[in-house]
Chain A
Amino acid sequence: MPDLQPSGPASLAGLGVSPGRTAGPCLRMAGPPALPAPNPVTDTGAELAVVGEALEAVAEDLRRRSAAVAGGDRGAAEILDALAMMADDPMLKEEAEQGVRDGLDAPHALEAAFARHREALASLGGYLAERAADLDDLKHRAVAAALGVPMPGVPSPGHPFVLVAEDLSPADTAGLGPDVLALVTVKGGPTSHTAILARGRGLPAVVACAGAAHLVDGTYIAVDGATGEIVTGVTEEDAARVREQDSAERARLAATSGPGRTADGHPVKLLLNIGSAADLRPDGEGVGLFRTEFLFLDRKQAPTYEEQVTAYADVFTAVPYVVVRTLDAGTDKPLPFLGLPEEPNPALGVRGLRVDRVLPDVLDTQLDAIAEAARRTGAEAWVMAPMVSTPGEAAAFARRARARGIARVGAMVEVPAAALLADRLLREVDFLSIGTNDLSQYTYAADRQHPALADLLDPAQPALLRLVELCAEAGRAAGKPVGVCGEAAGDARLAPILAGLGVTSLSMAPVCVPAVRDALARHTLEECRELARAALDGR
């Protein structure tokens, strides 16, 4: 192998968003191809052949990737199949061929044909407008194939590698193969799609790493998904050693079990975040966040009462302790059946519990269904509302839930106003659950998806921790539980700090449980408090 290494190891800093250490050759995801100036067509027959071959190459690549994941992730395989059928589309091909006959070269003819279909889908709005982005991706692939340059998208070199990208979209990550050791992105934040996907799969990931833009394909790098450090210029032998240490560490963590405890036995419940019964894993002490909107994401019609009862009962039957969050939707997280109008500023608009202001029936039906599912299964239902802003909202929600016999009613703390009045919220409800993703976005006035503001969204930011402390103190005074269910709860680095602030439970993606359990067990409560004090004093 030619020596591609720069002289000696060097370190790049990013934001660690999914723990784990690994190392290997890095490979960049190719960006969209630049379309050169139009070329006059001299041989129409040859140019027609290029169009056909380019579309076939794109469809073939997608079918191959679909087959590769078919055994495991069926949803991903279906997405890839549907994309392959779009690349194979007879109308699209005919139009591109007509473009060539009209004098366009193959790349420009493909570009024009895709653009026309993109407009057609975009104009339909809703679900189909989202598919318009898929067509852009297919267009870039087809144009790249016609130009003879690498197709954009995740490379498949046939050996393990660290995937480096500007940012990753859901389409990029559908069907991410087992060869990917870790994810490194130049953009993205702690709550970006990349971060959530990586934690879900247990892949180490570093985002917002500006230096990653200059990594050279094929060079070996080491990635620490907890600290966000990337070391360049490592040797193949170093990389192998890092990977061995990581598998030993994972094996050690996987062997841990039992409830969450600090070294001196102070309990901190370890709970799971789930979207349906299918996400349940045999670890943790219950479910701290059941995201009910995940059951109904693609629905055009409101889910019926009976259907909801069944879905909730499935989870209640499997787990004795479940905190159900009522539908968390809005124009930033649309549920088609709600038919909410678009808003100029969706993060600050009608979302979460606020949807109840315009569609009160939705919450009534859902509370009825949760209460019935609890009756049928004999479970004690804990129910909380998202995006509560005032004690008045918490009181109104609690009244409606208790009127149906729901045992424990809570409020999520995602809005700084709710954290500031946590003591008064706790006069109305039985527990609080802090959603750190939104709470940091609103506290720091920084869009969760904004690539340039990732540092402000770091859950270790002191102002965010101060709000968490305020809630935890209110909980201690009232003798009521206060948990954290945002992405911060699954961060082993933060777990002792949150425990030190007085948080009573941490709810996280199932894959995060072993590392968080281990982190808690390594510190006494007093050490956790010291860590919390130091973090609150940070800059």
Chain B
Amino acid sequence: MPERTVAVASASGLHARPAKLFVQEAARLGVPVRIRVGEKSVPAHSMLGVLSLGAVHGTEVTLESDAPGADEALDALVTLLSRDLDAEEALDA
């Protein structure tokens, strides 16, 4: 099954605004993706699931999907997680 592992780049971790942008993007892509930290795996389009991972800045998360279009969706989400979404907030505020 295609998967990618990436460290969360946002300063505040996968909480607050970065979590919101990630979950929105996962929902928009429409490809079922799961996000995993250690043993805990949740659907990427679930806000409560993603928050419950407790991922902070630098936490390695693994994205998995075997649905059609998985590779493109995983790449898009990895790109998002590799950006410091908190810093971008400051820029466009």
- Using CB atoms and an 8 Å cutoff, list the residues of chain A in contact with chain B: 74, 78, 81-82, 85-86, 88-92, 117, 120-121, 124, 127-128, 131, 135, 298-301
Contact = CB atoms under 8 A, between A and B. Distances in A.
A440 to B, nearest CB: 33
Q: In the A-B complex, list the 6 residue pairs whose CB atoms are closest, starting with the nearest.
A: A85-B47, A91-B46, A124-B54, A120-B52, A89-B48, A117-B48
Interface stretch (B14-22, B63-71, B75-83): B14-22
B30 to A, nearest CB: 13
Given A85-B47, A91-B48, A135-B48, 7 more contacts: A74-B93, A85-B23, A85-B24, A92-B48, A127-B15, A128-B54, A131-B51
Contacts of A299: 11-12
A85 B52 CA distance: 14
Interface residues of B, number: 23
Contacts, number: 59
A78 B21 CA distance: 11
Contacts of A301: 11, 57
Contacts of A131: 51
Nearest to A131: B51
A89 B49 contact: yes
Contacts of B20: 78, 81-82, 85
Nearest to A84: B47
A300 B11 contact: yes
Contact of B56 (A74, A92, A300): A300
A86 B47 CA distance: 6
Nearest to A81: B20
A300 B48 contact: no
B48 A128 contact: no
Contacts of B36: none
Contacts of A135: 48
Nearest to A79: B16
A91 B17 CA distance: 20
A86 B15 CA distance: 13
Contacts of B49: 89, 91
Contacts of B43: 90-91
Contact of A90 (B12, B15, B46): B46
Nearest to B24: A85
A82 B12 CA distance: 15
Contacts of B51: 121, 128, 131
B7 interface: no
A299 B52 CA distance: 19
Contacts of B45: 90
Nearest to A336: B12
Contact of B12 (A89, A120, A298): A298
Q: Which of B47, B57, B93 has the most A CB atoms < 10 Å from its CB?
A: B47
A120 B50 CA distance: 11
Contacts of A120: 48, 52
Q: Which of A85, A121, A124, A127 has the most B CB atoms < 10 Å from its CB?
A: A85
B48 to A, nearest CB: 5
Given A78-B20, A86-B47, A91-B43, A300 B13 contact: yes
A117 B54 CA distance: 13
A268 B75 CA distance: 61
A116 B19 CA distance: 20
A118 to B, nearest CB: 10
B52 A89 contact: no
B11 A86 contact: no
A314 to B, nearest CB: 12
Contacts of B47: 82, 85-86, 88-89
Nearest to A88: B47
A117 B52 contact: yes
15 contacts: A82-B16, A82-B17, A85-B24, A86-B48, A89-B47, A90-B45, A92-B46, A121-B48, A127-B12, A128-B54, A135-B48, A298-B16, A299-B11, A300-B11, A301-B57
B46 A78 contact: no
A78 B17 contact: yes
Contacts of A81: 20
A121 B49 CA distance: 10
B19 to A, nearest CB: 8
B42 interface: yes
Contacts of A82: 16-17, 19-20, 47
Nearest to B15: A127
Given A91-B43, A300-B56, A127 B48 contact: no
A90 B27 CA distance: 10
B33 to A, nearest CB: 12
A88 B43 CA distance: 13
